[in-house]
Amino acid sequence: MQLHILQAGGPFYEVELGRFDGLRSKSSDVNRRLPQAEFNLNQLNSLFAANGLTQTEMIALSGAHTVGFSHCNKFTNRVYNFKSKSRVDPTLNEKYATQLRSMCPRNVDPRIAIDMDPTTPRSFDNVYFKNLQQGKGLFSSDQVLFTDSRSKATVNAFASSSNIFHANFAAAMTKLGRVGVKNAQNGNIRTDCSVI
């Protein structure tokens, strides 16, 4: 992943080596450890804190949404079924909501996906944070980083300086790489990566 980030204009950071591989792999173990698209700030902070990460580190890692894509079913509740009179999330930029509706009409093929960053989707930059300032966070869990006063200042700082964002992202990725590290008691070194 580090090479892809660098190629897209993101920061260089050392990936720590010498990790043991897990003895089993289940998708159910992963899903409950990942932030969900509709999480609020308390849920995000709680999930990341359980892994020893701060709010600032969580916001920096969320900046990875500057590249990548999402399937429509992860966010269409914000443009069709939100609990408001208009059925559209009021924190969503009106023109962006219209754009999302055109790209993801009701009953769209679930394989359809759109870019997470509507402005510079192939660049690892701080435009993700500038998009949040304009109400263009694709997930509720993205937009809440700007709408919640507890995290807004960090979003503004990252939006104002790609250097600040990149430095924080690299440090947070390094720290994230230290979460749940296996040892000889609960992991192994694979000689054949296709076999557990």
Cα 60-65-68 angle, rounded to 5 deg: 145
Ranges assigned E (strand) in the chain: 21-22, 69-71, 113-115, 187-188
| Backbone dihedral angles phi then psi of residue 22, each to the nearest 5 degrees | -70, 160
Cα 54-58-61 angle, rounded to 5 deg: 135
Q: Which amino acid is at 114?
A: I
76 assigned ligand-binding residue = no
90 assigned ligand-binding residue = no
SS3 breakdown of the chain: % helix, strand, coil, rounded to 5? 45, 5, 50
110 assigned ligand-binding residue = no
125 assigned ligand-binding residue = yes
SS3 call for 22: strand
If you count them, how many residues does the chain have?
Answer: 196
Exposed, middle or buried, 10 (CB in 10 Å: 0-12/13-18/19+)?
A: buried
Q: Which amino acid is at 164?
A: I
Task: Give Dmax (Cα) for the chain.
Answer: 58
Q: In this structure, are strands 187-188 and 21-22 parallel, antiparallel, or unpaired?
A: antiparallel
Report the binding-site residues for substrate: 35
**Would you list which residues are annotated within the binding site for heme b?**
65
Binding residues for Ca(2+): 66, 117, 120, 125
- Known binding residues: 35, 65-66, 117, 120, 125
